[in-house]
Chains A and B, each alone.
Chain A
Amino acid sequence: MSDFWIILTGCLASVSCGLLGCFLILRQMAMVGDAISHAVLPGIVIAFLFSGSLDSVPMLIGAATFGVITTYLIELFNKKGGLQKDASIGITFTWLFAIGVILISLYADDVHIDQDCVLFGEIAYVALEPLVSYIPGLSAPSTVWVLFIVMLLIIAMIIFGYKGLFLTTFDPSFAAAIGVSTVVWHYLLMSAVSVTTVVSFESVGAILVVALLIAPAATAYLITDKLPKMLVIAALVGVIASFGGYYLAVWLDASVAAAIASVLGIEFTLAFLFSPQDGIIIKRLRR
């Protein structure tokens, strides 16, 4: 049963991340996603001090707050400070991450966050959790429940907010002209990214969550030009990687999350080479 829960956790996290990742890379905000995934660390630590656990409402609020702060700081340094975009991303997330690590050392007795966990998580822990039943007849580890709910929320956001997300992604000035607020969608998306990062944090850690965010979306982007198709393909790519990654990790006796990231890399490489639309081999043959 434990392998089922691990694979399911991987699938849930990678579907949520993959869907959001599509919007991130289309908005050319891939590195902002990367920055958020690191910069929520102080939020996690502060929330941990208040609530004493990793899966809780204060945690989500803390994370979402720091996600928004990160986005805001990046823009502030960029616009008011006159720093180029990538430099302001680099400075912001390293600064907040450093504060996070300092806070962990400062409250080491109260905050039980493993250093390894911060970087690459440990998905196998999910199998050790006791099963909880929120719906009669269905019981699952609480991490799975949380990831499942977040995934549903993200899917709902995309379905019901499709028009707003679509317009603000592809044509912000047109969106603004017809009264769709780019700022609202921007910060909504960033909050969703922070929340997803945090709920995936225990399982995959701050760096590998970036692989889940960017790799499936980039792979899907090479295969199709249509946004709905891209979303579906990105989710599929994530699911395949979760299965593949699990068995690769078992075979090598290594970290599951890292194996998932590695499989994502292989999937991207395949799309990069053989995608019917943009694969470099196909392009070369056509020439």
Chain B
Amino acid sequence: MWLFEQIVEFFSFQDVNIRYVALGTLLLGASSAVVGCFTFLRKKALVGDTIAHSILPGICLSFIIFKTKDPLMLLLGAMLSGWLSVYVVDYISANSKIKPDTAIGLTLSVFFGVGILLLTHIQHSGNSAQAGLDKFLFGKAASLVQNDVITFGIVSVILIGTIILFFKQFSLISFDVHFAKTIGLSVRTFEVILSTITVLAVAIGIQTVGVVLMAAMLITPAAAARFWTDKLKVMVIIAAIIGGVSGIFGAFISYTAPSMPTGPWIVAVLSFIAIGSMLVAPKNGAISKSRKQKKNQRKILEDNIIKLLYKLGEKENEFFKNRSIRTLKNYREYPEKKLLKGLNILKKKNQVVLVNDLWVLTEEGKKAGMRVVRIHRLWELYLTTYLRIAPDHVHEDAETIEHIITPEMESKLEHLLDYPEKDPHSANIPYKNEKDINE
């Protein structure tokens, strides 16, 4: 009941503070997720991390120079040094043998080092106005006030507006830089715009979640969304929803348990969603992928066994003879367990029967085996006739394709090759209505 009351109290948004915190984290989560989609797709997932660590020296310098905590001046400093760090990473990796990941680690840690040097210098200098600068380190989501939310609102509008305005250009430079160049798009300009809004998103978001976790606000929703869709527009929308929901959830947890930090909870929820998506997403998720893989392996196993039984029958001219596991093993080097598993599946499909521990093809099984053999031989013939591949090079390929070819493709092949009788190795190509052809 306590939880329920808390939920009602929180989500009724009666309390002004709750309203600000929830709205602030929602805006932040959603807008940084939208921007993050593009850094993620451009395979620059750690750019957000670099910027987050690198804005500190800018903030401190602008405080030292202008002696003010005016958010706009601090933001200006933050943007300049964040921007510089992106440039430095590119410059180092372009002009030396240092690899990009080393350049990223180097830049972010040294910039951060300089930032901490300046920050501790300011703190020790006894200037009382400095109090609060450390919110750029750890974030202070729980203490969001009206002014912050207004700032977040404005920045979110700028970020999302820019993305909508240049959506086409951004998707071009994310997916195909070379194509973008050939159609005359100024790639450099849009890269600059994109990194500028990334810097802006980081500079704002870091005050809520802190240096280390800012990277997650950008890329984790994008990565999670990527599992659910292949369409960029849908991905951006899903990422925004995931980011926003996690933001509100984080705010809710630190509302019910005030000692709990908001930022880490937002990231914990985000990671939970991302890992969940990675597992259960219908098409790209790990579970459905491995299920598909298992299904394919079973199909291959079935096909191979039924093909073997058919070929043995063809060789001995006696399709419905009893055959022992050992005979089968002589021809196909499967472990006995695997062989038995495949035979049992075939038995359920009524393609083989078990008689006194020996396996026999059924009429249905013969048909199934014939089909695999036919496709195999048709394909071999297709390769030798149309692709001019030597007959002794086509078997391997046919071995793979025989499991994939659909009935439609099968009849196309038959038409194309005009119902041939022999494959390149002069083996008979069996047909369903064999008798009609023979007679």
Q: Which A residues are closer than 8 A to B by beta carbons?
A: 25, 28-31, 33-34, 38, 77, 80-84, 86-87, 89-91, 94-95, 97-99, 101-102, 105-106, 108, 115-116, 119-120, 206-208, 210-211, 213-215, 217-218, 221-222, 248-249, 252-255, 257-262, 264-265, 268, 272, 278, 280
Contacts and interface: CB of A to CB of B under 8 A. Distances in A.
Q: Determine which residue in B110, B215, B223 has the highest number of CB atoms from chain A within 10 A of its CB, and name it.
A: B110
Contacts of B220: 90-91, 94-95
Contacts of B275: 95
Interface string B111-148: 11111111111001100000000100110000000000
A211 B259 contact: no
B216 A208 contact: no
B101 interface: yes
Interface string B92-105: 10011111011011
B261 interface: yes
Given A91-B223, A218-B106, A86 B45 contact: yes
B222 to A, nearest CB: 8
From DSSP, what is the main secondary structure of chain B's interface residues?
Answer: helix
Contact of B46 (A31, A33, A80, A248): A31
Contacts of B38: none
Given A255-B120, A260-B113, A81 B99 contact: no
Contact of A30 (B101, B212, B267): B101
A218 B117 contact: no
Given A90-B49, A102-B265, A262 B271 contact: no
Contacts of B263: 98, 101
Given A86-B44, A91-B271, A268-B106, A30 B99 contact: yes
Contacts of B264: 97-99, 101-102, 105
Interface of B: 40, 43-46, 48-49, 53, 92, 95-99, 101-102, 104-106, 108-121, 124-125, 134, 137-138, 211-213, 215-216, 219-220, 223, 259-261, 263-265, 267-268, 271, 274-275, 278, 284, 286, 289
Contacts of B95: 280
A263 B398 CA distance: 63
Contacts of A34: 105, 108-109
14 contacts: A82-B289, A90-B215, A90-B220, A91-B216, A94-B212, A97-B267, A98-B213, A98-B263, A98-B271, A99-B268, A207-B109, A208-B109, A252-B121, A253-B121
A206 B112 CA distance: 11
B215 A115 contact: no
B113 A91 contact: no
A167 B102 CA distance: 21
Contacts of B223: 83, 87, 91
Contact of A82 (B117, B259, B284): B284
A231 to B, nearest CB: 16
B193 to A, nearest CB: 22
A280 to B, nearest CB: 5
Given A28-B99, A81-B286, A258-B120, A98 B267 contact: yes
Contact of B105 (A31, A81, A257, A258): A31
A101 B278 contact: no
B216 A258 contact: no
Contacts of A28: 99, 101-102
Q: Which 8 A-B pairs have the closest CB atoms?
A: A261-B113, A265-B110, A94-B216, A258-B116, A211-B109, A95-B271, A98-B267, A98-B264
Given A77-B278, A80-B286, A262 B213 contact: no
A25 B99 contact: yes
A38 B212 contact: yes
A120 B102 CA distance: 20
Nearest to A212: B109
A31 B211 contact: no
